[in-house]
Structure 1
Amino acid sequence: MAQTGGKALVQWLVAALLIALLCVAQAVVICNVETSRLNLCRAAITGRYPPPPSRRCCAVIKQANLPCLCSYKSLLPAAGIDPKNALALPGKCGLRTPRRC
């Protein structure tokens, strides 16, 4: 039981860190992308019917390490991001979504 609680605590801490990183003006690099640039894709991955990604968003996604970004998939809802929309983004930008994503 202690391991489960510890695991949940770590997940919450990582989620809080990710949210903080997305809100900070300073750029932090995660998966080959500055977190400030990930905001260029926010409209395309939030909401019930998001618009198609912009060219600038796709440029960010094309330079990103997609398998690395997939490792953050479970944290997306805590940041207000719909995982289904996020997983569809590479395909909308002409890329393949990594298999284990």
Structure 2
Amino acid sequence: MTMKKMVILMLLMVSVSLKVETSTALELCDMDDEGITACKPSVMKPEPVAPSEECCKAVKGANLTCLCSYRTSPWLPALGIDPDLALELPSKCNLTLPADCQND
């Protein structure tokens, strides 16, 4: 194989791996994987911590109605997130959950 073909092949492999890595990014209720990562220590048992400034920033940009819809879903626990702790984040970040979420 010529050097030119090897370089082209390597560039294609890097390009494909970058696309695969980008496509695995997690987004939940308008929170990207960075926001979820920032909040994870606050929504994991047994010893959750107070939400960080980065976490609260992510929660402020989140769709809280969407977050509420995950209250009884198996998806949050599958991600290691306690749904009850997740629903406490808005109040800990000085936000109010939608009224229909508070009545669940």
TM-score normalized by structure 2? 0.63
RMSD of equivalent CA atoms? 2.1
Q: 1:57 aligns with which of 25, 48, 55?
A: 55
1:7-86 to 2 correspondence within 5 Å? Answer: 26=22, 27-73=25-71, 74=73, 75-86=75-86
Q: Where does the alignment leave 5 or more consecutive residues of structure 1 unmatched?
A: 1-23
Structure with more contact order per residue of length (Cα contacts < 8 Å, sep ≥ 6): 1
Q: Give the total of aligned pairs.
A: 78
Amino acid at match of 1:58: C
Q: CA deviation at 1:28?
A: 4.7
Q: Do the aligned partners of 2:76 and 2:82 also contact (CA within 8 Å) in 1? A: yes
* Structure-2 change in CA distance of 1:29 and 1:51 (3 Å): closer
How far did 1:59 drift?
0.2
82 and 32 in structure 1: CA distance in 2 versus 1, 3 angstrom threshold: closer
> The residue matched to 1:53 in structure 2 has which SS?
coil
TM-score, structure 1 as length reference:
0.65
Larger Cα-atom Rg: 2
Stretches of 4+ aligned residues off by more than 6 angstroms: none
Structure 2 unmatched ranges of 5 or more = 1-19
CA pair 82-33 structure 1, distance change in 2 beyond 3 A: closer
